[in-house]
Structure 1
Amino acid sequence: MAMPLPVPESVLSEGLPDREGASVRETFELFSAVAPKGWRVELIEGEIYVVPPANGEHEEIVSELNGQVRDHDKGVGRYTGVGLVLPGATETVRVIPDLVIAPKGSFDDQQEWHAPDPVLLVAEVTSTSTAGRDRVQKIRAYARAGIPLYLLIDREAGEAVVCSEPSGDDYSHKSIHKLGTQVPLPTPLGFTLDTAAF
């Protein structure tokens, strides 16, 4: 479900450029430019989604994930708010995952959007407004990009879904675990995630 985008006062007073006939990409760039701090604007399968800041429970889960990865391997970077440019079925996909794991220094530049080449794992934690995309469109997008692991913490279903072995538009292997249990993460991370705090 797309969320309404509140437009900052400065834009309301100065007005927007005439955008009649603007492409989806141009509209996406416009929304990205005017989105308030903390809001995420994503382009997935030709649709623009504007997502408000997450609630506290969501952020606690992301923080716990971040900490467990750090405790396992201090040589990897743990990134929130990193924009990824992914191949799409018809056009480029632009997403901002809840957590990206990649070697340290992978995003040490001034770019807003990055290629997924160094990414080892992406994690998404569902919210009511994002759960459908996290379960369907983002699996396709991350698999197409060849991202080795996709971890979906599905709060509504009470499950952790580990997707590995990307192949085409999907992952060849998916394992589903109840939240609160030990969840094995295969290589390239290769450790057991404790979801008791989730």
Structure 2
Amino acid sequence: MTPSSAARPQMTVEEFEQIARAAPETVTLEFVQGKLEVKPVPDGDHDEIIMWVLRQCLQQRPELALYPERGLKVEAYRTGRARVDGALAPVGTFAGQGEWADPAGILMVVEVTSHDHDTDRRDRIDKLGGYAAVGIPVYLLIDRDDHSVTVHSEPEGGSYRLRPTTPYGTDVRIPSPVGITLNTEALKEFTD
């Protein structure tokens, strides 16, 4: 995206939210980096990976919940809207919030790449910047294209300072404030 197009979003956040409310349930819309995006419907392997992460988080940190498909206000000044594959937060964090929640209190967001034409830009670039801009401590990216897990942490100035990537099959330490370890051997079961 060029700097001039970033300054001119396709629509206002209010216009996006109106469109998103009217969209059929089979369509998931996001508003990232000033652009309307259609998020693909997850396939079965995608769902299984999210459930695997959910089980791991709950076993190691039962006071937390992994909220699937949570709508969040992201980017600087909360001008973006992303529907994350999973948002890890203390139980009760989203009580009383609407469809698009403030990201305060979220410890980690999880995204699993989809097999579509713009997953590279969406999951590896646009959302990465949006999550860092609002200070979400950890962004866990499970990349089905190259069979790897990337743990983005230490957000600072709109980006993450640390981004170690490891292949499926290794132990992945998720740093504080999450503080869990994922043995990613099971992810090999959900590989095309």
TM-score, length-scaled by structure 2: 0.85
For residues 88-127 of structure 1, the aligned pairs below 5 Å read: 88=76, 92-127=79-114
Which ranges in structure 2 are unaligned for 5 or more consecutive residues? 1-9, 188-192
Which ranges in structure 1 are unaligned for 5 or more consecutive residues? 1-21
**Distance in 2, Cα, partners of 1:48 & 1:26:** 12
Aligned position for 1:147: 136
Does residue 28 (structure 1) correspond to residue 16 (structure 2)? The answer is yes
For residues 61-72 of structure 1, the aligned pairs below 5 Å read: 61-72=49-60
In proportion to residue count, which structure has more helix? 2
**Distance in 1, Cα, partners of 2:19 & 2:104:** 26
**Distance in 1, Cα, partners of 2:41 & 2:127:** 19
**Distance in 2, Cα, partners of 1:111 & 1:57:** 29
Aligned position for 1:136: 125
Higher Rg: 1
**Distance in 1, Cα, partners of 2:35 & 2:108:** 24
TM-score, length-scaled by structure 1: 0.83
Decide whether aligned partners of structure 1 residues 86 and 25 sit closer, same or farther in structure 2, where only a CA change above 3 A counts.
same
Aligned position for 2:34: 46
Task: Give the deviation of 1:28 after TM superposition.
Answer: 1.8
Residues matched between the structures, number: 176
CA RMSD, Structure 1 to Structure 2 (Å) = 1.7
**In terms of mean alpha carbon deviation, does 53-62 or 124-133 score higher?**
124-133
Which whole-Å deviations, capped at 9, do the CAs of 1:53-78 have from their partners, x for residues lacking one?
Answer: 20001110000000000000110121
Decide whether aligned partners of structure 1 residues 23 and 190 sit closer, same or farther in structure 2, where only a CA change above 3 A counts.
closer
The question of whether the paired residues in 2 share the 8 Å contact of 1:160 and 1:178 is answered with yes
